Structure 1
Amino acid sequence: MAKDKLRKFAEVETFKNVVQLDGGLKYRGKWSSEFFGNDKPLVLELACGKGEYTVNLAKLFPERNFIGIDYKGNRIWRGAKTALEEGIVNVGFLRIQIEKILEFFDENEVSEIWITFPDPQPQDSREKKRLTNPKFLQRYKFILKKDGIMHLKTDNDGFYAYTLEQLAFFEAQKNKETTDVYKSNLVNDVLSIKTYYERKYLALDKNINYVQWKFSK
């Protein structure tokens, strides 16, 4: 297992669609123009893991640019490799800690953000690590365009409830919400994309929560 991780880390270093750590600082404010070479809207997936959502969104929406963000290079390897093998040019991956996102994206640079099955960090002592903690939400609000959209999919009911509490504090406008995507009338090609973790949760008959929102300005 350790050898496989090392192999993936080494291979990721050679991928043209992956930017690692401080290598991404130069693209701040100009990811679409300088990394993708166009002026298409920019969409992020945070804690993207193996990149299934990032890659499949890129396939569905060739008129947009997509960046999957995660700190674990051996996970990013899978999505990046798939994109290269299939010639998907509107997708890239950035290996950074999400806490540092403001160092890599400028104000009003991003059109849309997805958070898909993040670690719920259920312990009270780890609340600051939750990706919908107020400090994180404030960062997302800064980099999102005025009408930017955010999405959350999670199997964890506690984390979902926590997120809704934070959105109420921010007076965010919730456009769509459900505690069971696949039993709702919201399910479509986008919400039907399944990550590695989502497939595991569905196999255990767990419900999938979803909320889409915009921040008040």
Structure 2
Amino acid sequence: MRLRNIPGADEVISNSAFCIQNPIELKGKWHEFFGNTNPIHIEVGMGKGRFLMDLARQNPQINYIGIERYTSVLLRAVQKIDEDPLDNVHFLCIDAATLPEIFDHNEVDRIYLNFSDPWPKDRHAKRRLTSREFLARYNEILTADGRIEFKTDNQDLFTFSLEEIEASELWHLDASTRDLHHDPKMNQGNIMTEYEEKFSSKGNPICKLIASR
């Protein structure tokens, strides 16, 4: 998918107090950065940031880091947080493949993956955020009781994700549903993303899984 370049986005991201410019230097020091020992949750592919910031408002005792590769998308989240600052939220403009270079072992307590790019062609399977390649990266940074929460409306991607977890010796599927909004147990406390609201309004069932090691 080709994204429209927004003039000035790079400069805004570079100058934002909420965007960390040299995250590799903070590997193993994230709790020092936040100034507390609270759990660290990250969202990979955060888009415009609605989900992450709603979570942060509800859970001030948790540190949140939003990860987005494209400045033109991250710009929207920066504009939102400038209007309503949150002390427990920061952003990274990075490729998710570099996560083990940025977070140390046992440094992240939870990873959220919401409506990730499905990369539908077979030759691009390694790029999917629920592929075994990315699961191995998550394994390097999660705490012993850490977990992944994944939501999508793409049935093929969800099937692929279930199969990747099942094939892995490191991961265990804790829960899953192919119709989140009609699953009373898994939908309890659910916070919707922009895409989730859009797709569900069209009648698309939302899938969700939770996996741990």
TM range (shorter): over 0.9
Q: Measure the CA separation in 1 of the matches of 2:192 and 2:28.
A: 30
TM-score w.r.t. the length of structure 1 is: 0.91
How many residue pairs get matched? 209
Q: Is 1:141 aligned to 2:152, yes or no?
A: no
Q: In terms of mean alpha carbon deviation, does 83-92 or 177-186 score higher? A: 83-92
Q: Is 1:12 aligned to 2:13, yes or no?
A: yes
* Equivalent position of 1:210 in the other structure: 208
* Equivalent position of 1:79 in the other structure: 77
Q: Is 1:174 aligned to 2:186, yes or no?
A: no
Which whole-Å deviations, capped at 9, do the CAs of 1:57-103 have from their partners, x for residues lacking one? 11111101000101111211222332232121100100110111111
**1:125-140 equivalences in 2 (<5 Å):** 125-140=123-138
The runs of at least 4 aligned residues of structure 1 exceeding 3 Å deviation read none
Q: Measure the CA separation in 1 of the matches of 2:13 and 2:101.
A: 22
Q: Measure the CA separation in 2 of the matches of 1:69 and 1:27.
A: 15
Q: Percent identity?
A: 31
TM-fit CA distance, 1:2: 6.0
TM-score w.r.t. the length of structure 2 is: 0.93
Q: 1:70 aligns with which of 39, 53, 68?
A: 68
**Runs of 5+ unmatched residues, structure 1:** none
SS at match of 2:7: helix
TM-fit CA distance, 1:30: 1.2
**1:4-83 equivalences in 2 (<5 Å):** 5-20=6-21, 23-34=22-33, 36-83=34-81
**Runs of 5+ unmatched residues, structure 2:** none
Equivalent position amino acid for 1:110 in 2: V
Which whole-Å deviations, capped at 9, do the CAs of 1:118-143 have from their partners, x for residues lacking one? 00111101111111111110010110
Q: Measure the CA separation in 2 of the matches of 1:68 and 1:188.
A: 23
Pairwise CA RMSD of aligned residues? 1.6
